[in-house]
Amino acid sequence: MTNKEIILKSIDYIEDNLCSNLEVLMVSNEVCYSLFHFIRLFQSITGFSPKSYIQKRRLTEALKLIKETDRKISDIAYNFHFGSPESFSRAFNKQFGITPIGIRSGVSTKNLSTLERITIDYLYQSKNLKETQPRLLVCKTKILVGTSFFIKNKIKVEDLSKEWGLFFQEIDTIENMIEPKKYYQVQYWSDQQDYGGMFFFIGVEVEKITNINPLFVVKTIPENRYLCFKHQGLANKVEFTYKFIYNQFLPNTNYTLNKPFNFECYDTSYLGPYNENSESLIYIPIT
């Protein structure tokens, strides 16, 4: 069994026991490792200490229950083996920057540092990203022409090939596209209210606006500081790049998210959604 397989086995055990009285020593015993070596192996492969992973996963699952059910917050706290509702609230606020009661008020949870179960795809993408640091840059204002739509949380967004296909059927009607062409996919949300999904925009960058096809809308990406990450691989694996950015990279920096959106850019390095060598750029607005 490889080291990665050992860690994935330990994650299976953790996930099966999130609502049990789980200690890191119990996990290390499950995979027949000494506590000392297990902690270091887990940290090196996942980017989290075992204790931190357990806590973040418990809080993430607790957040879902608070948001999606009417169960008492105190019951949820005890369900995930927090000693008291007060200690649960403190840990919750420390991780998410909001109290459990605040979640019940219906605020958006998009920017919260949740942590979903770590998978083999997540580990693969994290390894690639750790080997290349993001670029910090200032992007000038960009004018985009394209289509906008809303996707509910319950729908898994693996790729938007259908939406892109419809867009490309009409792209020849767009004037003043920059050369070489750059295409964008923008995800944006409200920081004030949770609409149960996310808004998307797909389009192309233009030099100026003239004679807009009624099928299209115009979006402006403001000048701002951005962290630029490279995603390499299939389009339906990009979620693991986002998870690395929001769950591993950003929490360990002093950067602050300052806009309710992020976007992806596709230029000549993008070889299509099903090409393993395809590259796209993810821009995260920060201060």
Residue ranges, the chain, pLDDT below 50: none
Q: Select 3-118's CATH number: 1.10.1020.10, 2.30.33.40, 1.10.10.60, 3.40.640.10.
A: 1.10.10.60
DSSP 181-199: --EEEEEE--SS---SEEE
Pairwise CA distance, residues 183 & 265, whole Å: 6
83 contact partners, CB below 8 Å, separation of at least 6: none
Q: Hey, is 145 helix, strand or coil?
A: strand
Q: Hey, is 136 helix, strand or coil?
A: strand
Pairwise CA distance, residues 23 & 20, whole Å: 9
> Could you read off the pLDDT of 51-80 as tens digits, one per residue?
999 999 999 999 999 999 999 999 999 999
What fold characterizes domain 135-285?
Multidrug-efflux Transporter 1 Regulator Bmrr; Chain A (3.20.80)
Pairwise CA distance, residues 35 & 5, whole Å: 17
Reading phi first (left if > 0) and then psi (alpha if -120 to 50, else beta), residue 235 is in alpha
- Where helices occur in 131-185 by DSSP H, the ranges are 161-170
> Could you read off the pLDDT of 127-160 as tens digits, one per residue?
667 667 899 999 999 999 999 999 886 555 556 8
